[in-house]
Amino acid sequence: MKKIFTFLLFGLLATASVMQAQDIDESYVFVDEDGNVIENGATVVRNEMGVYLDGRDVIRSGISVYNQSGNTAVDYLKVYYDIERIDNGSYQICFPSTCNEQSMVGSYETGRGQLMGNLQDIQSEWFTQGEGECIVTLAIEILDRESGFPPTYTHRSWGPSITLRFVNGDIEPEPLDGDVNLDGEVNIADVNAVIDKILSQSTDPAADVNNDGEVNIADVNAVINIIMASN
């Protein structure tokens, strides 16, 4: 019975992995300061304070957009961003060469443009004026440029999305729903973590994703639903 249950669980995991990959064009991806690709749907936490050129306190994301397709054709991109929380100060994102600065919760978008090379820093940063958090979700849109004058641009595909969580002060970021392995991200690794907890008959509260007092297949489904909702 345990072998059958394990087989069913991993079949569900494989299905979730395929579903997660659907409709996401990874020609362009978000990368960190070391050039590591940030997984679609991941949350990145930043809390290192710095000083901006004009003297303001700033916490930088260190996030860039990278062309990993190997295609040298000219593509046009936009970055959409949802500010979910901003306790104080303002959030800035520069792409492709225009900087937008916002101080309110809401949905916004950058200008449309091309990467200036294969790798481009998007200068995503929070100008903080005190302790608190700023939470922003970024999503890449890839566009086709149609010939004509003036040229028109049509949607080709959606690229990955990530969440930035800026933290200033001795504030622990709110735990993420579904972050079973407590690595600050919610992804397929957390589905694996729940399966491991079920097979070991663990009662770890972090694995009780749906908060029903039990760790079972319903928690696997709950993590998958969280992953799917972020895509």
What's at 156, amino acid-wise? R
pLDDT digits (tens, 9 = 90+) for 32-81: 999 999 988 888 999 999 999 899 999 999 999 999 987 766 789 999 99
Pairing mode, if any, of strands 119-121 and 106-109?
unpaired
Our CA angle for 102, 105, 107, nearest 5°, is 80
Which residue has better confidence, 12 or 183?
183
Which residue has better confidence, 163 or 200?
163
pLDDT of residue 6: 47
Look-up of token digits 């792409």: 95
Give the whole-angstrom CA distance, residue 111 versus residue 205.
44
Which class would CATH give 28-168? mainly beta
pLDDT of residue 20: 44
DSSP secondary structure of 160-185? EEEEEEEEESS-PPPPPTT-TT-SS-
Q: Confidence class of residue 204 from pLDDT cuts 50, 70 and 90?
A: confident
pLDDT of residue 180: 84
Sequence-distant (6+) residues with CB within 8 A of 124 are 60, 61, 63, 91, 92, 93, 94, 136, 138, 164
pLDDT digits (tens, 9 = 90+) for 149-158: 888 889 999 9
Give the whole-angstrom CA distance, residue 90 versus residue 49.
14
Structural domain boundaries in the chain:
28-168, 175-231
Q: What is the CATH number of domain 175-231?
A: 1.10.1330
pLDDT digits (tens, 9 = 90+) for 96-125: 888 999 999 999 999 999 888 889 999 999
Give the whole-angstrom CA distance, residue 109 versus residue 76.
14
Look-up of token digits 């973590």: 193
pLDDT of residue 3: 46
pTM beyond 0.85, yes or no: no
Give the whole-angstrom CA distance, residue 169 versus residue 6.
43
pLDDT at 175 over 80: no
What's at 221, amino acid-wise? N
pLDDT (average), residues 180-198: 84
